[in-house]
Structure 1
C-alpha cells in the first residue's frame, strides 16, 4: 500500500538509500580484504605463485596423483623474466609440464595469490581438441582442490569463471578465431611453433591488439617447430630485449639421437623428475630402428627447428653417416647437376662420382646484398658466411648471379675428369644454353623434369637419391651448405604416389639438394651411362 504522506515517502527513500550505501561499503571492504596485495617485484610475484602451487594437489589420472603441483625451477626462472616484458616465450620440448605451467599460472590470477577484480585472460591453442584438453586439465585441478570456480561450456570450447571476483579465463581455438576484439590482461598461446605463419599471423595481431587497453602480457609456451612466427619472436628477443624475452631449451642441430646431453638440453624436466630419462633412452632406440620417426623425435623430444608434419628428403642421422673427413678419389665417370639462380638467388652445381660415391657442391651469390644482410633476410643467420669460409660458396656478379662465370669456374675445377652429362631443370631450357654459350666448355646437357608427373624425371631422381643415401653410396664433407639445405628439403606427393622436392618456400635454400638430386639421379641411369660417351670438351680442343 503506497504511503499517503509525502514526508513519509521521503524519509523511507532516505533510509533505503542509507541502507544501500552501508551495504556497498561493507561489500567493498570485504572485497578489498579478499584480494591480496600483489607485490610489484616479479620475483616476489613468482615466489607467491610457487608457494601457492605447493598447496595444489595433482589430480587423478596422473602418476603424481595427490602430490603437490609445485612449479619447477625452470618455469619460475622463466616467469620472473616474463613478468617484466609485454611479450615472452618458453620454447621447450614436449612433456615438460607446459600445460601444467599454463594452468597454474592462469589459475593464480583467477583464484590464487594474483587474483584481482574483473581480471580477464585467455588461452589460445592450436585446435579445438587441444583447447578442450587444457580446459579438462584445469577442471581436474579445480575438482581435486575444491576451488570455487565455475566452468562454462558456452561460447564453445568454454570459459572458467570466478563469480565472486568477476574474473574470466577464456579458452580459444586458433582454428576458429582469426582475431579477438576483447580486452585481456593476459594471453597465453599454446604450441605456436606448430602454427601456420600465413594463416595465424592475423590471430596473433588480434591478440596483441586485445592487450593494448589493459597493458596486458602475451606469453608463448611451445615447441620450436618450424613456424616463422616463433623465429621472429626469437629474433625480437635478441634485438629488443626490453620488450621481448624468450628462453629456448633445445638440442644442438647436429646431435645424435642417443646423446644424453642433448636430451638434458631440450628437456629440463628430466632433472626435475617430470619427464622420464628412461623414456628418452627407449624412444631413441626405437627411432634408430625406424628412421621415418626421427623427424618427430627431433621436433617433439629434442625441440629442434624442424616441421614434424612434413617428410624430408633425408634425416639428419642418415646424412651424418655420409659425412667423411676426407673425400674419396675422383675416379671413373662423373655426372653433374645444376640449379640456376633466379635473379639474385643462389646458383648451385653438384658433381657425383658413382664409382667412389664422392659428391661435391658449389654455390654462388651476387655481391649485393652482402652475405650478412642476405642471411638476416633469409632467416639463416651466419650460415652464408660459414659457407664462404668453408669454400663452398663464392660471390660472382654485382646484383645478379653471373651464372656463366660460375659454371666456367666449376668446369675448370673438373679439368681432367670424365664428365658424362650435365643435368638441368627443363624449365630452364631457354636460359641454360645462353649461359653455356659464354662458357669455354661444351658439356652434354640432359634435361630433367623435376616435377612428379608421369612425364617428369623428378620422382626417379628423388628415389635414386634416397637409395644412394640409405645404402651409403654417397660421401660428402660436413659442410654448412648441405646442412642448411637439409632442413628445407621436403618431399611432396602431389598425386599421392610420386615424390618431388617441394620448392614452395622461397627462402628455403634447397638449391644444393636440388642440384645433388639431379646429379645422383643421372648417375643411377645405367642405360644412359652405357649409351652416352664422355661429352665434356674444351671449345676448340681436339
Structure 2
C-alpha cells in the first residue's frame, strides 16, 4: 500500500479536536487529499503548500506529523519529527493539534506517548521499539544543527524572519538528507517574489512538490471565484465560509489602507507587501492608477530624474499634469547582465521581464553614462514641450555637467529628498493619486518600485521616501514622486489673465 493511501486512511481515523465540529471524524477535502498524495509520493523530499489563512493547513500537517511519529507509513527506528516555526508560541499551535489528534487514538497507543511542555514542547512515543520523538523548535538555525529528522514541518515559512529563517531552513533541509526524510513547507503567501518561500513555488525543482492556491493579481478583493481559489476549504466547511469572507472583503475595501492589504495577503493569499503602516502607496492604491488606455500627451511634460550608481537603477518619469498621463523608464549598466543582477537583488527574472516589456534598458558597462542617458530621455519626449526637469540636488554637480554636455535646454529644478522637500513631494504625489490625477498603463517597473517604497516619519509627522529592503530598487518611484509633485504645483498656480494695474 502506498504511503499516501496509508496517510489518508490514518488521518480520516482521527477526530476533529476543537471548534464547532469537535469530536466528529475527519473528512479530508479534495485539496487536502491532493496535498497528501503529492507530499508522500515516491521521489518527493519537499512538499510546499501555499493557501489562505484558515484552511486547516497547520492541522493537516500536524496530522501528518503525528502519523510519522507513530510510524504509520515509515517504520524507521528512532524516528525524529521536527515542527519549526517563527516563534515557540507559533509552534505551539501545531503542537496542540498533534496533542488534540492523539486523544482520538486507541488507549493502548496513548499510554505509550509522553507529552512534555517544559523546558521544550516534546512528544515521545515508546511503541514500535521506542525512542521516537516529536519536538518544536523556533527559527534559530543553531537549534537544528546535528539533527537527523525523518519529517520536518515548517509552519508559516513565508513569514519567518529573514536571516534566522533562512539559517533554520538550510539546517533542517541538510538534516533530512541523512535519513531520506521529508519536509513540509506550508504558509500563506510571502509578501513578494524575492522571499525564499516564493522561490520554492516559482522555481520548479526535482523532488519538490508544489501546491499553490493563489488567485490572479489585480482582481477586486470581494471577487467570489478568486476567494474560492484562495480558500478551497470554504466549500467543504473548513475554516471561514464564503459569505463571511465576502463580507470581510467588502469591509476591508471600505476601510482601505492596511485593512485591505492584510486581507489580500492573508485571506486572499496574494503576494502583497506586509509593510502597511509606512508604505507610500498600498498595492490597491497604486493599481487604481493603472488604466487600459492612457490619456493623450497633451500640454507640457514634467520630467523627474533619479540618478543611480553602479548597483542602483537610473530612472526617469514623464508626467503630463494636464491629462495625468505618466510614463516611466529605467536603465541599468550592462554589467552584470539583467538576469544576474535580478538574482543578486533577490527578484529572479523580474528585470528581464521588464526589459521584454520595454520598461527597462541597459546602457554603459559598469555605470550608466549620464550625458548619453539624458539624450535618450529627451528623445523619449521629442517634440513635446518640457515644462521642467526636476532632480535631486544631492547629485546636482554631476547632473548639471551632464546636462551641459548633452546640450539640453529646459528649466531645471533641484529638490531635496529630506523631510522638508521630500515630505511635501510625497504628500502632493499621494494627493494626486487619490484624486485620480495619475494615470499609467500597467507597468512592472512601477509596481516593483512602489512595492519597495516606504516612508520614514519624523516627530512632526513629516515623511521622506526610502526603500523597504536594502536591495529594493525604488528609483522609478522616486522619479515619479518628483515629476508628479511638480506637476501638481504647476496645476495649482493661478493662471495669469494678462494686463497690468496702474496705481496713481
Partner of 2:502: none
CA-CA distance at 1:71 after TM superposition: 3.3
Aligned partner of 1:98 among 45, 49, 57:
57
**Secondary structure, aligned partner of 1:361:** strand
Q: How far, CA to CA, are the matches of 2:171 and 2:21 in structure 1? A: 38
Residues in 2 aligned to 1:329 and 1:422: alpha-carbon distance in whole angstroms: 20
Give 1:218's match in structure 2, choosing from 174, 177, 183.
Answer: 183
Distance in 1 (CA, whole Å) between partners of 2:494 and 2:164 is 51
Q: Which residue is equivalent to 2:122?
A: 159
Shift of 1:75: 2.8
Task: Quote how far apart the aligned CAs of 1:441 are.
Answer: 0.9
1:127 aligns with 2:84: no
Does the alignment pair 1:433 with 2:400?
yes
Q: Does 1:52 align with 2:16?
A: no
Unaligned stretches of 5+ residues in structure 1: 1-38, 533-542
User: 1:262 deviation in Å?
Assistant: 1.9
Distance across 2 between alignment mates of 1:166 and 1:393: 58
CA distance in 2, matches of 1:428, 1:75: 56
- Distance in 2, matches of 1:405 and 1:506, equals 28
- Give the CA deviation at 1:377: 4.7
Query: 2:501 maps to which residue?
Result: none
**CA shift at 1:399, angstroms?**
4.1
1:188 deviation in Å? 1.0
Residue 63 of structure 2 contacts residue 97 of structure 2 at CA under 8 Å; is this kept in 1?
no
Structure 2: where are the runs of 5+ without partners?
497-504
* Of 135-144 and 276-285, the range deviating more from structure 2: 135-144
Match of 1:174 in 2: 139
**Is residue 519 from structure 1 mapped to residue 451 from structure 2 by the alignment?**
no
- Quick one: structure 1 residues 176 and 361, their matched pair in 2 at CA, closer, same or farther if it must change by over 3 Å? closer
Q: TM-score, normalised by structure 1?
A: 0.81
Give the drift of 1:124: 0.7
CA distance in 1, matches of 2:89, 2:9: 31
In structure 2, relative to structure 1, the CA distance for the partners of 1:100 and 1:429 (3 Å cut) is same
Report what 1:503 is aligned to.
467
Tell me the equivalent position of 1:255.
Answer: 219
CA distance in 1, matches of 2:148, 2:350: 42
**Does residue 191 of the first structure (1) align with residue 156 of the second (2)?**
yes
Given candidates 21, 27, 51, the residue that maps to 1:70 is: 27
Q: Deviations over 1:202-241 (max 9, x none)?
A: 2222222333432322221111213622133235x52x32
Distance of aligned partners of 1:450 and 1:178 in 2 relative to their CA distance in 1, 3 Å threshold? farther
Out of 479, 484, 508, the residue aligned to residue 448 of structure 2 is: 484
Gap change, CA 1:303 and 1:177, over 3 Å in 2:
farther
Shift of 1:368: 4.2
CA contact (8 A) 2:453 2:468 kept: no
Q: Provide the residue aligned with 2:310 in structure 1.
A: 343
| SS of residue matched to 2:10 | helix
Residue 96 of structure 1 aligns to a residue whose secondary structure is coil
Query: Retained in 2: the 8 A contact 1:287–1:297?
Result: yes
8 Å CA contact 1:256–1:317 kept in 2: the answer is no
Corresponding position: 1:307 with 2:305: no
**C-alpha distance in 2, partners of 1:55/1:354?**
66
Give the whole-Å Cα distance in 1 for the aligned partners of 2:32 and 2:145: 28
Q: Which residue number in structure 1 is paired with residue 37 of structure 2?
A: 80
Structure 2: distance between partners of 1:451 and 1:162: 61
1:458 partnered with 2:419: no
Matched, 1:140 2:140: no
The Cα RMSD (Å) is 2.9
Task: Confirm or deny that 1:204 pairs with 2:169.
Answer: yes
- Contact 2:330/2:360 (8 A) holds in 1: yes
Q: Which moved more, 1:284-293 or 1:367-376?
A: 367-376
Aligned residues of 1:421 and 1:446 also touching (Cα < 8 A): yes
Aligned to 2:359: 392
State the alpha-carbon separation in 1 of the partners of residues 436 and 117 from structure 2. 56
Could you say if the C-alpha distance between residues 412 and 182 of structure 1 is closer, same or farther in structure 2, counting changes exceeding 3 Å? closer
TM-score, reference length from structure 2:
0.86
Distance 1:234 1:528, change over 3 A: same
Change (3 A) 1:69 1:490: farther
Q: Is the 8 A contact 1:178 1:200 kept in 2?
A: no
Structure 2 partner of 1:405: 372
Q: Is the CA contact 2:452–2:468 (under 8 Å) kept in the aligned structure 1? A: no
Shift of 1:356: 2.1
Change (3 A) 1:529 1:395: farther
Q: Pick the structure with greater CA Rg.
A: 1
Report what 1:540 is aligned to. Answer: none
Contact 2:426-2:464 within 8 A present in 1 as well: yes
Residue 89 (structure 1) aligns with: 48
**TM-aligned CA deviation for residue 138 of structure 1:** 2.4
For this pair of structures, how many residues does the alignment match? 482
1:444 aligns with 2:416: no
Moved more, 248-257 or 268-277: 268-277
Per the alignment, residue 329 of structure 2 pairs with 362
